Amino acid sequence: MEKIKERKPNSNAQIPILITSSITPHDKSVKLADPQQRLFHAIESITQWIRVAPGSSFVLCDGSNFDFQPIVRERFPNTEIESLSFENDQAKIITQGRGYGEGEIVKFALNHSALLRTSDAFAKCSSKLWVENYAECINHWPANCLFSGVFRNAFSLSKRIEIVQVDTRFYMVDSDFYLKNFIDAHWQIGQSPGFGLEDSFLQRLQTMHQHPYLFPVSPIIRGVGGGTGRYYKDTWLRVQKEKFKLAIVRKNRVFSKLFNA
């Protein structure tokens, strides 16, 4: 794949945010299937993103050929939002899962977005979601990539801690690093039971012995999950629990080097 050229360095505030969308879901297993409801929550997330990341530019890329441009022009005239759309491979999504579609959307955006073409990095978030503490997360950039880790046994006294996935709902990544290491990661998913995009990304990070690649803070993800159709419930207690878990993992000598402190 040809590298994107003519990029310019970004300050943290200038890193564009790529929002990946599918107003018409090709994965028929999702609970939130109504396109009008999906559109409502996509617009809601854009509104929230403008609040939590003021001054940022956005790339809104839809894989179900939905054209956001008229809505964006009317509702967000003072925000730089580039709208892209194309039709994902429906058959591949049905056989390999919606993570395949997600990978294709990012790939399409990197190939066609004027904003991404001239940026050396980007943040990515799935549509209908936003990151409440985005300002805190972006303070830990730059790096090759930053994800939130999913850990097992963090509170166990008898079992060793394991990282089982990286969260691909939201991450930050250097554009060239993504092109070199993740651009075709979605091709691997669905080839074995339960092996999703989160697993494919982690496998590649571990194979290349990449570090650091984890946020030292827990991104607080809000909004509606397309798979469940429900709002995430990040109560104060749950947020504190995630902070405590992260503190435990960061002190573990096996994982401490993975965090971009």
Domain containing residue 69: CATH number: 3.90.550
129 near 170, Cβ under 8 Å?
yes
pLDDT at 97: 86
Is there a domain that residue 148 lies in?
yes
Other beta carbons within 10 angstroms of residue 250's beta carbon come to 14
66 and 21 Cβ atoms separated by less than 8 Å: yes
Average pLDDT across each block of 10 residues of the chain; the chain has 261 residues. List them in order: 46 82 89 94 97 97 97 96 96 89 97 96 97 96 96 96 97 97 93 88 96 96 90 87 95 96 79
Domain that holds residue 221: 12-254
Residue 2 belongs to some domain of the structure:
no
Rounded CA gap, 212 and 120, in Å?
Answer: 18
- Owner of token pair 């006294």: 157
- pLDDT confidence of residue 7: 54
Domain-embedded: residue 23: yes
Domain count along the chain: 1
Residue keyed to tokens 């919606």: 98
pLDDT of residue 3: 38
